Amino acid sequence: MMSKHACKAWTTVCLASLLTACSQGNGFSDLDQFMAEARAKPRGHVEPLPEFKAYEAFTYSAADRRSPFEVPVEVQLTMVDEKPQSDIKPDFDRPKEVLENFQLTNLTMVGTLRRADGSGDLYALVKDNTGGIHRVHKGNYMGENYGRVVGVNETRIELIEIVPNGSGGWVKRPRTLELSEG
C-alpha cells in the first residue's frame, strides 16, 4: 500500500498537470481578434440634444363671446310688453315689525321656546346684528323683502318673501333661517 505522503504527492501532480492543460490560451484567439477590430474602428459622434423652448400659456380672452364658427342667432325680446301675470304684491299699509328693519343675512336663529307644559305655539329666538334677541312665531314678518314666517320648528324658520321680478311685478320666494350651532 501506498503511504499517505505518496498519495498526496500523486494527487498534487495530477492536479498540476490538469491545470496546466486547461491554461492554454489558444481558445480565446478569435475573441481577442474581434475586440482588437472593434477598438480599431472609428468611434461614433452623438449630436447634442435640441434646445428646449419654454411653454408660453395663452389665455383666450373672448371666451364670453359668440364663436366665430357658428351662425349668429337672432334674439327676439318677448317679455318687453308683457304685463305682470300675478297679482302678488306686499301689503304696504300694514305697520312694519321690528325684524323687518334687518336684512335676512344679518339675522340668526339661536333657539326655540315653548311653554313648560308643552302647549301653545313654538317660538323661535332670533338674534339681530346689534345683539338683540326677538321671539318669532308663525305669522310674524322679518327681513327687508316682506318675509312672512310660515313655519317654525326646532331647527329652522321657514319664510315666504315677496321680491320684485324685474319687470314691474312681484314674486314669492321661499327662504329658510337655520339654527346656528355656534
| Phi/psi of residue 36, nearest 5 degrees | -65, -40
Helix (H, G, I), strand (E, B), or coil: what is residue 87? coil
Say which residue, 62 or 161, is predicted with more confidence.
161
Amino acid at 89: K
Query: What pTM was computed for the model?
Result: 0.52
pLDDT at 1: 53
Note whether 153 and 136 are within 8 A (CB).
Answer: no
pLDDT digits over 12-53, tens only?
A: 888 877 777 666 656 778 888 898 988 888 888 888 888 888
Amino acid at 73: V
The percent of residues above 70 in pLDDT, for the chain, comes to 88
pLDDT digits over 71-115, tens only?
A: 887 777 665 555 556 788 888 899 999 999 999 989 999 999 988
Alpha carbons 22 and 181: distance in angstroms, whole number:
93
Alpha carbons 109 and 175: distance in angstroms, whole number:
13
pLDDT at 160: 92
Q: Residue 54's Cα: distance from chain center in Å?
A: 29
Short-list 122, 65, 127, 72, CA closest to 98: 127
Going from the C-alpha of 66 to that of each of 47, 59, 62, 76, 175, the distances in angstroms are 49, 17, 8, 17, 36
Q: Residue 126's Cα: distance from chain center in Å?
A: 34
- 3-state per-residue secondary structure call for 24-84: CHHHHHHHHHHHHHHHHCCCCCCCCCCCCCCCCCCCCCCCCCCCCCCCCCCCCCCCCCCCC
Which of 1-10, 51-60, 70-79 is the least confident region? Answer: 70-79
Is residue 8 scored above 80 in pLDDT?
Answer: yes
